[in-house]
Amino acid sequence: MSDLNKKPAQPEKKPVKIVETVLRDAHQSLIATRMTTEQMLPIVPKLDQVGYHAVECWGGATFDACLRFLHEDPWVRLRKLRDGFKKTKLQMLFRGQNILGYNHYPDDVVEYFVQKSVANGIDIIRIFDCLNDMRNLETAVRAAKKEKAEAQIALSYTLGDAYTLEYWCNIAKEIEEMGADSICIKDMAGLLTPYRAQELVGALKESTNLPIDLHTHYTSGVASMTYLKAVESGCDIIDTAISPFALGTSQPATEVMVETFRGTPYDTGLDMKLLSEIADYFRPIREQDLESGLMSTKVLGVNINTLRYQVPGGMLSNLVSQLKQAHAEDKYEAVLEEVPRVRKDFGEPPLVTPSSQIVGTQAVLNVLTGERYKMFTKESKKLLLGEFGKTVKPFNPEVQKKAIGNEKPITCRPADLLKPALKEYEDKIAQWKRQDEDVLTYALFPQVAEEFFKYREAQTTGVDPTKADKVNGAYPV
């Protein structure tokens, strides 16, 4: 008998699990988070039939955009989704001590937000910190465990001298010790190339027993290949978006990954017919968004600059718009070269909200003023004061001194310096409060929340909401 006729030993079956992002990251990445609850609800029963590991449906931008642009209560959206999803887990993204906002909140607010998120239907909370300072995750993780939710800790993935395999493996061990249920590699910029993913996932698998979820973006064009190598290396869960809302700055397409693994030990077992019916539902929404310009063809191609400059696509477009406002578009290349220098001076943080905005805006200032660190933004000062936590590398001491003068930098967990604040928020919104959750909405986005509360009031009191802005300055519709 020739060896060729021998069947190779069948490898152990290890179906890869899929997190569908169409209700959160996909529309955040492609249409500025403008998908409405009304657009989501009709397809929920079908999404619920698929057998996804989870559906990601809530997070900072969805919460903010709901209130600010769609005049929707994000809590009501969550409750409606929960009503519709009978068996699928719902997942949210949570910025550690920043919750869904941009500043650090006291522990009582973090705990209450977690409690209410779970009470309204969230099953899995993905918690990250823009500096990967694990101290900023402790309260949220503890609160999630207390509410019996699944606590997933996400590493903000980035490149740089400090970010060795050893660094990531040590963090993974810390995450496991903190009691997290799973680890996510959060590659918001699409920097993780296929062979780098193989190496990273392989190393993490050796340092931890926790399931590993890989979250990346298609921005640089490598993401599907990255998932393939990651899954072959033991990655347990991947985040994908149904095809009409996939690719570009969003995730790889769900159907493509499902077909890729069909008939292999990683076969997801998901039903292609069902997935294509879901795609049929979202396709006209995509067409409509393309037609209105809400979805720009600019975000749909491959942006290789993200690999060249190692900055997230969203940050690149922010830089362009900041320079446009200053009529200094010709400074784009100079700013792109300044970004890594500022990042080094600022302790080489990952570039993810809010650190991406802080580093980007400072780089723009440094170039536009013609002198590095002639001016600092308020946020830069806060970062250099240690108000966001500890960076993986120390700050450039000269730059820090220039920014903070003789102020004493914070070295403890920043939230340890914050007093409980819930009561104060409660008092401030007493006149608008219609549900417990309103206090959290207000704590996170005070101005937008108040406008929304006025709008809601106008609606329930029978005032025509389309005229509400004229009546009492409420939300323009």
- Binding-site ranges for Co ion (CB under 5 A): 25, 188
* Shortest CB 168 distance to Co ion, Å: 18
Smaller CB distance to Co ion: residue 356 or 380?
356
* Six-digit token string for 364: 């723009």
267 and 49 in contact (C-beta within 8 Å)?
no
Query: Using alpha carbons only, how large is the chain's radius of gyration in Å?
Result: 23
Smaller CB distance to Co ion: residue 188 or 359?
188
Nearest by Cα to 24 from 79, 71, 81:
81
| Length of the chain in terms of residues written | 477
* Shortest CB 215 distance to Co ion, Å: 6
Strand stretches in 182-318, DSSP E: 182-187, 212-216, 237-240
* Shortest CB 217 distance to Co ion, Å: 6
Smaller CB distance to Co ion: residue 20 or 25?
25
* Shortest CB 28 distance to Co ion, Å: 8
* Shortest CB 411 distance to Co ion, Å: 31
Measured CA to CA, the distance from residue 137 to residue 200 in angstroms comes to 22
Smaller CB distance to Co ion: residue 56 or 181?
56
Measured CA to CA, the distance from residue 52 to residue 387 in angstroms comes to 38
First-to-last alpha carbon distance for the chain, in angstroms, is 76
**Residue closest to Co ion, measured at CB:** 25
Measured CA to CA, the distance from residue 48 to residue 162 in angstroms comes to 42
* Shortest CB 173 distance to Co ion, Å: 24
| Sequence-distant (≥ 6) Cβ neighbours of residue 426 within 8 angstroms | 433, 439
> Residue 459: exposed, middle, or buried by beta-carbon count in 10 A (0-12, 13-18, 19+)?
middle
For residue 3, count other CB atoms closer than 10 A to its CB.
5
Residue spans of alpha helices (H) in 302-389? 305-309, 313-325, 332-345, 355-368, 378-384
Measured CA to CA, the distance from residue 132 to residue 155 in angstroms comes to 6
Smaller CB distance to Co ion: residue 124 or 367?
124
Smaller CB distance to Co ion: residue 126 or 390?
126
Smaller CB distance to Co ion: residue 112 or 128?
128
SS (H, E, C) 280-324: HHHHHHHHHHHHHCCCCHHHCCCCCHHHHHCCCHHHHHHHHHHHH
* Shortest CB 188 distance to Co ion, Å: 5
* Shortest CB 106 distance to Co ion, Å: 27
* Shortest CB 398 distance to Co ion, Å: 35
Smaller CB distance to Co ion: residue 354 or 465?
354
Smaller CB distance to Co ion: residue 25 or 348?
25
